[in-house]
Amino acid sequence: MSMDSYKKQQQMKSLTRQLSEHSALGLGMSKLALVVCAACACSFFYVALLLLSSASMMASCIPSSSHGSTTSSRIMPYNFALLGSSNATTAASSRFTLNLDQEKQRYSSTSPRKSLQQASGSRTSASQASGSTSSSTSAGDSALVSSIPAKVVPKIGPHDAAQVEIPSTTIAKTEIHTSTSTSTATTLYNIVFGIAASSRLWDRRREYVKLWWKSSQMRGFVWLDKKVRRKWSKTDYPPFRISSSTAAFNYTNKMGARAAIRISRIVSETFRIGLPDVHWFVMGDDDTIFIPENLVKLLSKYDHTKYYYIGSSSESHTQNLHFSYNMAYGGGGFAISYPLARALERMQDGCLHRYPYLFGSDDRIQACMAELGVPLVKEPGFHQFDIYGDASGLLSAHPVSPLISIHHLDVIHPVFPNMTQVQALKHLSRSIKVDAPGILQQSICYDKWRKWSFSVSWGYAVQVYRGILPPRELELPARTFISWYRRTEDSGFPFSTREISRNPCEQPTIFYMDNVGHKNSSRSYSTYARETKRRGDCRWKMASPGGIDSIMVYRDRTEGNWHTAPRRHCCRVINSDKRNVEIEVGQCRTGEFIA
């Protein structure tokens, strides 16, 4: 074979090999294109299935009315990424139903409400027979619904037309008591008290409860950690209840005590008793006194069919910072409306599990209120009294608001000198019986001839100052007390105060209530005797109030609704001589002001 022929043959083989490689590459690219197209088609089909599954889940989460109608509130699935396939969705739904059944079985076996519902079955049946149902779900009931889709719809009760889906993660109980309230105006009977007490301190503190409890007019319970021996009449105190075990709840705060969990559940446990015709649940401690008449008037301002959480902050700025200014202090007392108590009872156990690190009972209640979306409505008449020492500075300059409660009676000095605390409170209760709305209400007036300023804290004390002090100064509490952290500076308090002068000429002469009664059907009288404590000598060349023996105050009966449009009552000096002063207190006349 010649060299030319050999080269041509090799060129033909090379060309043939290149053509084969290109053909194979083309075939591979075609196969790859087919695979990609097939994958895209599957993906589009998978996405379509996912969208259809999600849409069905969203549709199933619309709560339906007991009458067959639907509400406008929709519940979105918790996480679309969890719904990877229809099988995963079915499995999750099965697990949810299983957990729900377990929760219902567990609480039905331990809850005391099953027997209570049987006992109140006739009452509930009568209510249902009357056809008294609501037309819509309350806002608070909707707030209870979690964002996790649920398949089970528990019945809420005859007062809620809609049925709400409750997920297994927040289910605590499903059987709910209903209040068969037929009255609209709140009376003392419509308020149920829950008094937190301990078996160790009850024997010492029970006298405080006895001072204000009226067994023939009031309802409530003293909640104890264990039984105590009864050495007293049943009519002197509320019935006793033993709190249920809190062993299932974790408590991790090293500074506090587990009793905080027990106390935080008192409102819920009181609710489960199922008393009829309840408007409000009021929480308080056993070392607290309440002024029931004022409490009724105060709560009457609010619609008890709505969600209300009413109370006040601490008198300690540091305490409020450590806990929250949004928290009602349970020692001073707080009020929860019936619908809110119902919502709290449903979710509280689950809520408590989420806050094992909190210190006390009050912050646990507030944490649950925050989850329910209900803010604190502040009423300054609830007094936590996180102070030490002489509380007369606060009592003599009470806010223009009804006195509702006084807490920490074992910590502050007796409210009247030269008495025990119980004796002093009994003495104060004499004024409360005559004119409860007017107790501690401050009025300011002047004896311009002798240049004296009078600050009248009705039913408690009258303070007389040398000189004409403006009302904006006299309405501030004098710092006769120290803060909860035993400091004297004004920065420890969440309100303005005034310092006590060391100059005896600038210190007040104090007259404490000695006697009180009715002058006639529309006016009371009260006498105030000068304190026996001797103060330093004053060298000012002006008349000294130290020469006055007693002060007589005539006061017009306080109108029951005065606090709805608060205004300090005016006072006038009507008679003044060397030994006695007479003052009248009443509504300010047209054009009258304090100057």
Distance CA 269, CA 345 (A): 8
Q: What is the pLDDT of residues 209-227, one digit of tens each?
A: 999 999 999 999 999 999 9
Class of domain 425-586: mainly beta
List pLDDT tens digits, range 372-403. 999 999 999 999 999 999 999 999 999 999 99
Q: How confident is the model at residue 179 (pLDDT cuts 50, 70, 90)?
A: low
Cβ atoms of residues 221 and 270 within 8 Å: yes
Percent residues over pLDDT 70 in the chain? 69
Q: What is the pLDDT of residue 153?
A: 32
* Residue 161, pLDDT above cutoff 70: no
CATH of domain 188-378: 3.90.550.50
Domain with CATH 3.90.550.50 in the chain: 188-378
Give the span between the Cα atoms of 269 and 372, in whole angstroms.
18
Q: Roughly what angle, to the nearest 10 degrees, separates helices 421-435 and 202-212? A: 20
Give 76's contacts (C-beta < 8 A, 6+ positions apart): 58, 61, 147
State the DSSP code for 270: H
Q: Is 444 exposed, middle or buried (0-12, 13-18, 19+ CB in 10 A)?
A: buried
Residue 351 in this model has a pLDDT that exceeds 50: yes
DSSP letters of 495-547? S--BPPPSSGGGSPEEEEEEEEEEEETTEEEEEEEEPS--------SS--GGG
15: confidence class by pLDDT, cuts 50, 70, 90:
low
Greater pLDDT, 280 or 491: 280
Q: What is the pLDDT of residues 45-93, one digit of tens each?
A: 444 444 444 444 444 443 333 333 333 332 333 333 333 333 433 333 3
N-term to C-term CA, the chain: 138
Q: Of 283-297, 499-513, 555-569, which range is least confident?
A: 555-569
Residue pLDDT, tens place only, 525-546? 999 999 988 777 898 989 999 9
Q: What is the mean pLDDT of residues 269-276?
A: 97
CA 364 vs. chain centroid, Å, equals 10
What is residue 556's predicted lDDT score, i.e. its pLDDT?
Answer: 92
> What pLDDT shows up at residue 183?
60
Q: According to CATH, where is 2.70.130.10 located in the chain?
A: 425-586
